[in-house]
Structures are given as structure tokens and as C-alpha cells.
């Protein structure tokens, strides 16, 4: 029988919420030529949601060339595979840099996904719209995303809305256009208290929500939002360490995931930014297990459920369920 920590490591896992530039490990940053000071700055033990957005600048500087972006993407995929993630939805915000256009940025990340070395991991790409950018800028990025979705429909699966939740806007028309063009929508929602926007996002009915911290009345003091949410039952990507380090959750034990567990609502576990928050998906499983005294079957089920919430092709979903079933027979 596997000990809990080793069980969490060995369990085949599904990662649905990982930002590329937040996922760079210390080693990767060193390989890219970052100084020790910059690396220390990037990995934070405790921060605030405002401060964390300054940390991404370290990674953005390091991935500002095609060569480094390609290398970073390949390394992040390799690290997830080493943590026994068998299906990864990596998300990233296309950026214009000195040596690349937004389209070249997307192409470089796709090249790295195609060239991945581990055969044991399926990798998909979600492209992010940065909420701090204005409507026209986001609209131009979306056009590029749609172009690549049509070129690589099996890799580019969806659109994300991310960036500093205290700034910018959710432009519903852009996500409607994304949806019309066959893209799934995973939207950061209620990472901070912002009831009006949360209602707009819920009414759009994204396929998945990121965080969902301020949906439950214990956190919003607003029952209307929770009523709407429980009618819709949209899967929420829960990022425990991210929320604890950014101080939107007091502790792992007090994390809002407990409301999803109590009410049997759909959720999955995710790392958000494994580099910045110094975590792995295995560690996230262990935090949940320790905080709520879960057993191995519970953990296995969380992994298996996440397949259903993923944007994988249906034959891939079947294959992933089979893989987990087989692992259960052999290890539990
Ligand atoms: C901590 N909670 C969070 N909330 C909202 N957006 C976040 C985030 N963590 C990361 N990002 C988004 O992802 C970018 C870095 O990866 P990419 O450059 O896209 O690969 C950040 O600049 C931010 O826009
Ligand atoms: Zn996120």
C-alpha cells in the first residue's frame, strides 16, 4: 500500500489550470539566465493578489525570446509529466515581444507542445485574454487565437480570461465570439469579491470557472450568487495554495473547496502557478487530503472527475478514464 504522499505523487492526475509563465520552476529560470535575486523575488511564500502580478514580470522577461519561450514550455510540460500529470491544459497570454508577434508567440508555444518528449502526457493549449487590456486589444488577440484554433483544432481548445482581477472588464461579446468559433471558455471568476461582474460571468455560463472564491454566501454575504451558481453547477478549478498564498483564503482548511465537497458540486484541483507558489499538483492533492481527511478513493475520484470537466476530445476522455481505472486495479 502506498503512503499518502507517495499515493498523491503516483496517482495519474489531470491539470486544468496552469499559467505557463507562473509555472516556471527555479531550475528553468536559472537555465534562462535569471539571477538568484530575480528567482527569489518570483517565488513567494506570502503575497497579496496585487503584489503577485508584479512577480510575473520576472518570468515575462525570461520568456521574451522565441528560444526561451520554446524551452520554457517544453520544460514546464516535462515537469508536469514527472509529477504524473497525464493530461495538461496549459494556458498562456499571447504577447508581442521584440523578436515575436502575438501570432509567433502562439506558434512557438504550439511547436513546443508538438515537440514534447514525454509520451505519457496529453497537452492542450488554452489562450488567455488579459483583462487589463482594452476591448480592441483583446479583440485582436482573440482573432489570432481563432486563427490558430482553426489550424490546430486538437491542440488549441479554449480561451481563458485572466490577469489582475482588480482591473479591467469581462467583455461578454468576445467570449460569445470565441464560443461561436468552437472554443471552450474557462474564466477566472470571483477570485476577489466583485458581485456585479460575477453575475455577468455566471449568466454567460462558461464551461469552467477559475477559483470561485467569492461565490458562496459565507464569503460574499450574497445568497443570489450562490443560488445562481448552484443552478448552473459549473466546474470550478480550485487552486488551494494560490489562494492561501495570495491571502484570499485564510488557510487550506478554510478554503472554499469545502462548500463544493459538502454540496457535491463539481470541482477539480489545480496549481495555478506552480513556480510562483512553489507547488505541484501532487502537493495540492496532499493539502486537500490532510485538510479534510480524505481517503485514497476520494482522491482517485477527484482525478477521474476532472477528466469530465476537461476540454479533451471524447476519445481522449475515454482513454484517460481507462488509464485511471487500470491504475486503480493495480495500486489500490
Ligand atoms: C494568482 N491568480 C491569478 N489570477 C489571475 N490571473 C493570473 C493569476 N495567476 C496568473 N495569472 C495570469 O497569468 C499570467 C502569467 O502567465 P502567462 O503569461 O499567461 O503565461 C499573469 O500575467 C496573469 O495574467
Ligand atoms: Zn489562474
Spell out the alpha helix ranges (H) of the chain.
4-10, 26-31, 36-42, 49-62, 66-82, 102-114, 135-151, 172-180, 195-204, 217-220, 223-232, 240-245, 257-262, 281-292, 296-309, 314-331
Residue 266 CA: distances (Å) to CA of 18, 164, 215: 18, 25, 14
- Is 191 a known active-site residue? yes
| CB burial readout 225-261, b (16+ within 10 A) else e | bbeebeeeebbbbbbbbbbbbbebbeebeebbbbbbb
For residues 245 and 46, the answer to whether their CB atoms sit within 8 Å is yes
What mean pLDDT do residues 4-26 have? 98
Gap between the Cα atoms of 133 and 212, Å rounded: 22
Q: Is any atom of ligand 1 closer than 6 Å to the C-beta of 72? A: no
Nearest to 241 by CA among 259, 253, 258: 253
Task: Give yes or no for residue 2 having a pLDDT over 80.
Answer: no
Q: Check residue 45 and give its pLDDT.
A: 76
Return residues with CB closer than 5 A to ligand 2 (ion): 210, 272
Chain centre distance of CA 298: 21
Long-range contacts of the stretch 186-189 (C-beta < 8 A, 24+) = 186/16, 186/17, 186/89, 186/91, 186/126, 186/158, 186/159, 186/160, 186/210, 186/237, 186/311, 187/160, 187/161, 188/131, 188/160, 188/161, 188/162, 188/163, 189/215
Q: Is any atom of ligand 1 closer than 6 Å to the C-beta of 213? A: no
Query: Which is the catalytic residue, given 9, 89, 102, 191?
Result: 191
Q: Is any atom of ligand 1 closer than 6 Å to the C-beta of 242? A: yes
% of the chain residues with pLDDT over 90: 92
Q: Check residue 284 and give its pLDDT.
A: 98
What mean pLDDT do residues 301-328 have? 98
Q: Check residue 53 and give its pLDDT.
A: 87
- Longest CA pairwise span in the chain (Å): 56
**What domains can you pick out in the chain, each with its CATH number?**
13-311 (3.20.20.140)
Q: pLDDT by residue (tens digit) across 124-140?
A: 999 999 999 999 999 99
The alpha carbon of 243 and the centre of ligand 2 are apart by a number of angstroms equal to 10
For residues 292 and 261, the answer to whether their CB atoms sit within 8 Å is yes
Task: Give yes or no for residue 46 having a pLDDT over 80.
Answer: no
The pLDDT confidence band at residue 1, using thresholds 50, 70 and 90, is low
> Which ligand is closest in space to the CA of residue 129?
1
Task: Give yes or no for residue 151 having a pLDDT over 70.
Answer: yes
Task: Give yes or no for residue 178 having a pLDDT over 90.
Answer: yes
- Counting from 1 in the atom list of ligand 1, the atom nearest the Cα of 19 is 16
Burial of 99 (0-12, 13-18, 19+ CB in 10 A): exposed
Gap between the Cα atoms of 241 and 23, Å rounded: 13
Task: Give yes or no for residue 292 having a pLDDT over 80.
Answer: yes
Task: Give yes or no for residue 48 having a pLDDT over 90.
Answer: no
The alpha carbon of 46 and the centre of ligand 2 are apart by a number of angstroms equal to 16
For residues 87 and 14, the answer to whether their CB atoms sit within 8 Å is yes
Q: pLDDT by residue (tens digit) across 90-104?
A: 999 999 999 999 999
Q: Is any atom of ligand 1 closer than 6 Å to the C-beta of 160? A: no
The alpha carbon of 189 and the centre of ligand 2 are apart by a number of angstroms equal to 10
% of the chain residues with pLDDT over 70: 99
The pLDDT confidence band at residue 260, using thresholds 50, 70 and 90, is very high
- pLDDT mean across residues, the chain: 96
Q: Is this prediction's pTM over 0.95?
A: yes
What mean pLDDT do residues 76-98 have? 98
Q: Determine the residue of 19, 97, 166, 237 to mutate for testing ligand 1's pocket, defined as the one with the most ligand atoms within 8 A of the Cβ atom.
A: 19
The pLDDT confidence band at residue 222, using thresholds 50, 70 and 90, is confident
Q: Check residue 6 and give its pLDDT.
A: 97
Amino acid at each position: 500500500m502506498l503512503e499518502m504522499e507517495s499515493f498523491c505523487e503516483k496517482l495519474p492526475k489531470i491539470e486544468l489550470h496552469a499559467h505557463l509563465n507562473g509555472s516556471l520552476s527555479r531550475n528553468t529560470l536559472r537555465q534562462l539566465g535569471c539571477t538568484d535575486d530575480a528567482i527569489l523575488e518570483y517565488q513567494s511564500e506570502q503575497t497579496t493578489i496585487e503584489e503577485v502580478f508584479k512577480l510575473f514580470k520576472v518570468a515575462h522577461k525570461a520568456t521574451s525570446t522565441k528560444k526561451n519561450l520554446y524551452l520554457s514550455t517544453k520544460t514546464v510540460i516535462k515537469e508536469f509529466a514527472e509529477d504524473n500529470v497525464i493530461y495538461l491544459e496549459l494556458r498562456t497570454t499571447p504577447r508581442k515581444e521584440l523578436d515575436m508577434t502575438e501570432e509567433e508567440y502562439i506558434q512557438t508555444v504550439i511547436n513546443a507542445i508538438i515537440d514534447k518528449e514525454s509520451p505519457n502526457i496529453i497537452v492542450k493549449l488554452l489562450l488567455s485574454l488579459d483583462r487589463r487590456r482594452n476591448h480592441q486589444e483583446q479583440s485582436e488577440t482573440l482573432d489570432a487565437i481563432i486563427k490558430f484554433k482553426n489550424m490546430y483544432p486538437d491542440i488549441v481548445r479554449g480561451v481563458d480570461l485572466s490577469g489582475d482581477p482588480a482591473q479591467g472588464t469581462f467583455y461578454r461579446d468576445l467570449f460569445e465570439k470565441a464560443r461561436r468559433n468552437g472554443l471552450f471558455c474557462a474564466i477566472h471568476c470571483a477570485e476577489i469579491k466583485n458581485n456585479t461582474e460575477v453575475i455577468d460571468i455566471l449568466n454567460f455560463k462558461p464551461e469552467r470557472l477559475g477559483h470561485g472564491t467569492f461565490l458562496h454566501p459565507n464569503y460574499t454575504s450574497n445568497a443570489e450568487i450562490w443560488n445562481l451558481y448552484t443552478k448552473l453547477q459549473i466546474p470550478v478549478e480550485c487552486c488551494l495554495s494560490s489562494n492561501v498564498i495570495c491571502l484570499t483564503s485564510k488557510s487550506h482548511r478554510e478554503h472554499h473547496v469545502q462548500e463544493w465537497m459538502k454540496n457535491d458540486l463539481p470541482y477539480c484541483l489545480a496549481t495555478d502557478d506552480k513556480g510562483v507558489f512553489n507547488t505541484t499538483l501532487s502537493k495540492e492533492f496532499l493539502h486537500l487530503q490532510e485538510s479534510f481527511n480524505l481517503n485514497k478513493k476520494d482522491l482517485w475520484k477527484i482525478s477521474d472527475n476532472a477528466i469530465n470537466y476537461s476540454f479533451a476530445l471524447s476519445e481522449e476522455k475515454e482513454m484517460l478514464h481507462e488509464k485511471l481505472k487500470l491504475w486503480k486495479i493495480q495500486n489500490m
